[in-house]
Amino acid sequence: MKFLVVLAALVALSAGSAIPLVPGDNSHYVEGESRYIWMPDGDGKPHLVDLHEPADEEAIARNGANNQYWLFTRQNPTNAQILVNGNANSVANSNYRANRGLKVIVHGWNSNGNSAMNPQITSAFLAVQDVNVIVVDWRALANSNYITATNGVPGVGQFLGNFLVWLINTAGGNWNNVHLVGFSLGAHVVGNAGRQAGGRPARVTGLDPAGPNWGGNSNALNGNAGQYVEAIHTDGGLLGIFDRIANGDFYPNGGRNPQPGCWISTCSHSRAPELFASSVRTNHFVGRQCTNIQQAQNVSALAMLSIWATELFRSAATEYSVYAQDPAGLSNDLAIKIIAIKKYLLQFLFFILTLIVTLFQKYVALFILFQVII
């Protein structure tokens, strides 16, 4: 009996090394080795993900057939018009205009078209340009377990690529005015969409492309997705890929956790869409060209290049370091500032409370072990 009590205490003491106890903290994570990792949903709430969980093959078989395409323009900046793949009337009766540029936004895991990044980036684009913005809602697969969503990404992207080909062929448009933007798993979705469209989109942007299970994956975002492909890395080596994968790879503040204003990995991961939206509105971030990733991590400078904003055509084949402060301090949108500040305060309080509970659990385990031994 005493042996069982001691064993239970030791298990309690060692549990933290197997399953991370502090929500959002991925300091334990080793790529290719760790089974568990915290991932944020569309509202930034961390969820513990089991990277060994089996995929739902039935859900994957439905792949991108359940994609929804929500159109926003300056005529309807907040109320979506639904475009239906293959239904020309849905486009003809909408505010879509072929002579405008086209921006396509794709969310990540455990999110939907209403998740915070979508209106944030949509409003930024519409504030500076009269364009068509299509938000892709792929929640049918994105809200599955992470492995299912990951395995479903190629199909979702291929359906999106086919939809864009149909849209431009049917309603008009110019591939030289098409910009695809995807966050986390959504970055790999737009990569597949761009390749399905023959690499014709003028610009493809991956916002901290998802890292777990994507190393060496042929379906990941790469330079063949468009005429110019870029990746912005903010949580490299944890929730995001750190390696160079695009024509231009940007590493704000070294590209790793913690980003300014963040204490945990999930916050740093979510920095990418916030930084991108701010860059569209302000157009004042500057990247410094680096000869290698090590320089990018150290924010070293060789040549300077203004980054992101709204330009479509780029020419780059290297890494860039970027110094970017807390987006809550960059945006001119007071509502975004307030939301960001509240989110960071809640994250900090949640972190402190969880730490207290964790320390208490370990104290109890040590107390039991001590009592048994003596």
- Please state which architecture CATH assigns to domain 35-336: 3-Layer(aba) Sandwich (3.40)
Tell me whether residue 107 is one of the annotated catalytic residues. no
Among 269, 278, 321, 326, the one annotated catalytic: 269
Tell me whether residue 269 is one of the annotated catalytic residues. yes
Tell me whether residue 208 is one of the annotated catalytic residues. yes
Among 184, 268, 278, 321, the one annotated catalytic: 184
* Least confidently predicted of 135-149, 255-269, 298-312: 298-312
- Residue 289's pLDDT is what? 77
* Least confidently predicted of 184-193, 286-295, 338-347: 338-347
> What are the boundaries of each domain within the chain?
35-336
pLDDT tens readout for residues 251-275: 998 999 999 999 999 999 999 999 9
pLDDT tens readout for residues 181-211: 999 999 999 999 999 999 999 999 999 999 9
Long-range contacts at 52-59 (CB < 8 A, ≥ 24 apart):
53/145, 53/146, 53/147, 54/147, 55/145, 55/147, 55/148, 55/150, 55/151, 56/144, 56/145, 56/148, 59/140, 59/141, 59/144, 59/148, 59/152
Among 25, 41, 137, 208, the one annotated catalytic: 208
